[in-house]
């Protein structure tokens, strides 16, 4: 019984210490601010990197092919994408002007899938 009481007191102290650490002005509690301006996606080893990218409206994304193999960037709904195959070192740029989720893939290697999320 005595041990239980000690444990209870210890946990109350710990809880108090934790809640004191987390004030509303704590920088760690602020929401993630999405990146804006220019962002890059690398095409390497048959994958888009990063595969999931969140950007702000107005951001231009540049995809650069670093693979020996040719790849392209095709929107799943075909509303945007590179019309031609990107050879090694070649890039494709697209500016996202509306918020939404934009899944895309490589037209040749359809298992290469990725998504751009655009937020206001
Ligand atoms: Cu490909």
Tell me, in angstroms, the distance from the centre of ligand 1 to residue 68's CA: 10
For residue 40, the CA-to-ligand 1 centroid distance in Å is 17
CA of 99 to the centre of ligand 1 (A): 26
Looking at the predicted structure, is the pLDDT value of residue 41 above 90? yes
**Does residue 11 lie in a domain region?**
no
Per residue in 104-118, pLDDT (tens digit) is 999 999 999 999 999
CA 89 to ligand 1 centroid distance, Å: 14
Strands 91-95 and 60-65 come out as antiparallel
Question: Is 14 contained in some domain?
Answer: no
Cα 102 to ligand 1 centre (Å): 18
Q: Residue 84's domain is classified under what CATH number?
A: 2.60.40.420
Q: How many domains does the chain divide into? A: 1
In a domain, 31, yes or no: no
Distance 86 CA to ligand 1 centre (A): 9
Question: Residue 51 sits in which domain range?
Answer: 38-119
Look at residue 17 and tell me if it is in a domain.
no
* Residue 26: inside a domain: no
Query: Is 8 domain-assigned?
Result: no
Specify if 5 maps to a domain. Answer: no
Compute and round to an integer the Cα radius of gyration of the chain: 23
Average per-residue pLDDT for the chain: 82
pLDDT band at residue 83, thresholds of 50, 70 and 90? confident
Beta-carbon contacts of residue 114 (< 8 Å; ≥ 6 apart): 41, 48, 50, 51, 52, 53, 103, 104, 105
Is residue 74 situated within a structural domain?
Answer: yes
């Amino acid at each position: 019984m005595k041990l239980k009481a000690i444990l209870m007191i210890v946990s109350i102290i710990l809880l108090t210490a934790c809640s004191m650490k987390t004030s509303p002005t704590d920088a760690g509690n602020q929401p993630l601010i999405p990146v804006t301006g220019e962002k890059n996606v690398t095409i390497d080893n048959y994958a888009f990197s990063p595969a999931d990218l969140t950007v702000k409206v107005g951001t231009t994304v540049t995809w650069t092919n670093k693979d020996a193999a040719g790849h392209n960037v095709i929107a799943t709904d075909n509303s945007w994408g590179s019309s031609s195959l990107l050879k090694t070192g070649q890039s494709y740029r697209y500016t996202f002007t509306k918020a939404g989720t934009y899944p895309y893939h490589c037209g040749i290697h359809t298992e290469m899938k990725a998504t751009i999320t655009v937020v206001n």
